[in-house]
Amino acid sequence: MDGAFDYVIVGSGSSGSVLAARLAEAGRRVLVLEAGVSDRRFYVHMPLGYGKLFYDPVVNWAYRTEPDPGLNGQRDYWPRGKVVGGSSSINAMVWIRGHASDYDDWQAAAGSSAWGWDAARAAYCAIEDNADGADAWRGQGGPLAIRSSRDAAHPLVAPYIAACEAAGLPRNADFNGERQEGAGTYQLTIKDGRRNSVARAFLRPALKTGRVALRTRAQVTRVVFEGKRAVGVEYRWRGALHQARAGEVILSGGAINTPQLLMLSGIGPAADLRAQGIEVLHDQPNVGAHLNDHQGINYTYRMTVPTMNDILRPWWGKALVGMQYLLTRGGPLSVSINHGGGFFRTDPSLDRPNMQLYFQAFSTLMPRDGERPILSPDPFPGLSIGLSNCRPTSRGRIELASNDPFAAPRIIANAFSTDHDVAEMLAAVKFIRHIAAQKPLADLIAEELRPGPAITSDAALIDDFRQRSGTVYHPSCTARMGADPATSVLDVDLKVRGVEGLRVCDASAFPTLIGGNTNAPAILMGWLGAERILAG
């Protein structure tokens, strides 16, 4: 497999698979090395298999953060896909582009319209095959099937949206349309009742061209350099170390593994590398820095009417929905866990939403440390209204814990480490209660279970979200792109500054965190990244 490739891409995730497909489409020969396993697994394809994948170490890096003072000293659990398709093969399938102005922020950081909203919008329209058809905002005919959860929505979604309206949040039929703010249902990367990962939509068709080779269970251990030029990678496959050479090396290992791999290859903060016994090739303090992630929390209610708990918990219900799924590819197992959602502002003077809502017509009162799968529904009718912040100001970092490439890096999340993030989350959780207090939803609620009616003061609410919140799985910016060499790792063409022949293309390259879920922007990164790479 050595020698004949124009590019070697490390990781087949949201960015890497799209990049591979686009480079192959342009006639280039690409080798994709993926540390994880094949995605040909039932629970990857069945949308509600999400819960089964959440803690499964076979398909999941299953990271733990360092004890986080902002989360009352707890170690948060950070799942990441370790499987073909990367995190797009284990995620909750919500398709959100983010706010248009997020891409103005990218343009400003990159100093180039190549990453601005006009470019992003055109790319999204080309990427999408939206079942609702094309309009000024949506695309149709692209490789990635998107469909709204509207038609399969649980009966409780309607009272939820009506309650949001009563709370002052208008109904919104398309969060990816002209206006992000409002309440409604999500668009999902689901096709014919099956998860539509990047493996399904991009990589598998690309493999058929014969210009892309994929090696699974192949974990890259370092980039191989001749002088300061990257000429290939070293990887472990079937118990032995191998080398793959290519014209260029592109790291698409995600926001945790890419900075780890850069540091293992001698690119990172010099003192930290030396402390691990790694020879410094290029001193780059921004590698692993600027870690940016969304924090989320659920408020959980006992209902007076049936929720999905009532059908998903009993054995006969499981059998029923299982049969329904196998026979028709429909029913509760064919949808995302997120039945509804929304975006709102905690302060009307803000110029864009700063909070995202998730409505789930079931409850799990999920424990933090995985003693129980998250889809083990509670033995009563329950539902959850969750939210996460859009643009937190807290910053964490990724550090090497050791120079062993098979050891997990240290994740220092630093959640809620700024007064800003605490204040806006406090305002946000109060708004959840405001929604739940509105008719017609309020009439269906028996009681608030978490945090519970005893938690009312600001101090108690803050302590509650420090205790119960956690990542919503969107770590980004740890090898970020930017026009300013003093504060970024990559130039506008995604090239790693200070060396030759090496680029990064994944969520670690985001200049700033997008206000919404990160699969769409990671796919966009692969799509637009291919254009930068093909331009030279």
Give the residue numbers annotated as catalytic, written as ranges: 474
- Residue 86 as a binder of ligand FAD (CB under 6 A): the answer is yes
> Of 82 and 391, which CB lies nearer to ligand FAD in the complex structure?
82
In this chain, which stretch among 37-45, 79-87, 270-278, 384-392 interacts with ligand FAD, using CB under 6 A? Answer: 79-87
- The answer to whether the CB of 374 falls within 8 A of the CB of 389 is no
State the Cα angle at 46 between 40 and 52, rounded to 5°: 85
> Of 68 and 506, which CB lies nearer to ligand FAD in the complex structure?
506
What is the C-alpha to C-alpha distance for residues 224 and 240, in angstroms, rounded to an integer? 16
- Closest contact distance (angstroms) between CB of 442 and ligand FAD is 28
Site map 417..456 versus ligand FAD, x via CB under 6 A: ----------------------------------------
- Closest contact distance (angstroms) between CB of 168 and ligand FAD is 26
**Number of residues counted as binding ligand FAD (CB under 6 A):** 41
- The answer to whether the CB of 5 falls within 8 A of the CB of 31 is yes
- The answer to whether the CB of 387 falls within 8 A of the CB of 358 is yes
- Residue 125 as a binder of ligand FAD (CB under 6 A): the answer is no
* List of residues 6+ apart from 217 with CB closer than 8 A: 34, 35, 36, 37, 237, 238
**C-alpha dihedral, 199 to 204 to 206 to 208, nearest 10°:** 170
Among 9, 10, 355, 461, interactor with ligand FAD by CB under 6 A: 10
Q: Residue 369's Cα: distance from chain center in Å?
A: 20
- The answer to whether the CB of 138 falls within 8 A of the CB of 95 is no
- Closest contact distance (angstroms) between CB of 367 and ligand FAD is 16
Among 94, 109, 273, 291, interactor with ligand FAD by CB under 6 A: 94
At residue 406, what is the residue type? Answer: F
Among 12, 176, 295, 309, interactor with ligand FAD by CB under 6 A: 12
Site map 228..257 versus ligand FAD, x via CB under 6 A: ------------------------xxxx-x
Q: What residue number has its CB nearest to ligand FAD?
A: 13
What is the C-alpha to C-alpha distance for residues 281 and 268, in angstroms, rounded to an integer? 9
DSSP 8-state assignment for residue 70? G
- Residue 34 as a binder of ligand FAD (CB under 6 A): the answer is yes
> Of 79 and 386, which CB lies nearer to ligand FAD in the complex structure?
79
- The answer to whether the CB of 143 falls within 8 A of the CB of 21 is yes
- Closest contact distance (angstroms) between CB of 289 and ligand FAD is 17
For 200, the token pair is 């399904």
Q: Quote the crossing angle between the two packed helices 458-468 and 419-436, to the nearest 10°.
A: 100
Among 24, 31, 71, 93, interactor with ligand FAD by CB under 6 A: 93
Site map 488..517 versus ligand FAD, x via CB under 6 A: ------------------xx---------x
In this chain, which stretch among 65-73, 84-92, 116-124, 202-210 interacts with ligand FAD, using CB under 6 A? Answer: 84-92
Minimal CA–CA distance to 388: which of 478, 288, 468, 442? 468
- Closest contact distance (angstroms) between CB of 166 and ligand FAD is 27
- Residue 14 as a binder of ligand FAD (CB under 6 A): the answer is yes
Q: How many CB atoms sit inside 10 A of residue 264's CB?
A: 24
* List of residues 6+ apart from 108 with CB closer than 8 A: none
> Of 175 and 431, which CB lies nearer to ligand FAD in the complex structure?
175
- Residue 220 as a binder of ligand FAD (CB under 6 A): the answer is yes
> Of 17 and 300, which CB lies nearer to ligand FAD in the complex structure?
17
- Residue 474 as a binder of ligand FAD (CB under 6 A): the answer is yes
- Residue 519 as a binder of ligand FAD (CB under 6 A): the answer is yes
Identify whether 511 is preceded by a cis peptide bond (ω within 30 of 0).
Answer: no
Minimal CA–CA distance to 49: which of 322, 368, 316? 322
- Residue 33 as a binder of ligand FAD (CB under 6 A): the answer is yes
- Residue 291 as a binder of ligand FAD (CB under 6 A): the answer is no
What is the C-alpha to C-alpha distance for residues 536 and 534, in angstroms, rounded to an integer? 5
- Residue 201 as a binder of ligand FAD (CB under 6 A): the answer is no
- Residue 81 as a binder of ligand FAD (CB under 6 A): the answer is yes
- Residue 91 as a binder of ligand FAD (CB under 6 A): the answer is yes
Among 87, 176, 354, 364, interactor with ligand FAD by CB under 6 A: 87
The residue with tokens 């149709």 is 140
- The answer to whether the CB of 284 falls within 8 A of the CB of 489 is yes
- Residue 80 as a binder of ligand FAD (CB under 6 A): the answer is yes
Among 8, 11, 161, 451, interactor with ligand FAD by CB under 6 A: 11
> Which long-range contacts link 236-243 to residues 24+ away (Cβ below 8 Å)?
236/406, 242/218, 243/2
- Residue 522 as a binder of ligand FAD (CB under 6 A): the answer is yes
Q: How far, CA to CA in Å, does 151 sit from each of 132, 147, 186, 358?
A: 11, 9, 11, 17
- Closest contact distance (angstroms) between CB of 251 and ligand FAD is 8
What residues make contact with ligand FAD under the rule CB under 6 A? Answer: 10-16, 33-36, 79-82, 86-88, 90-94, 96, 219-220, 252-255, 257, 261, 473-474, 506-507, 517-520, 522
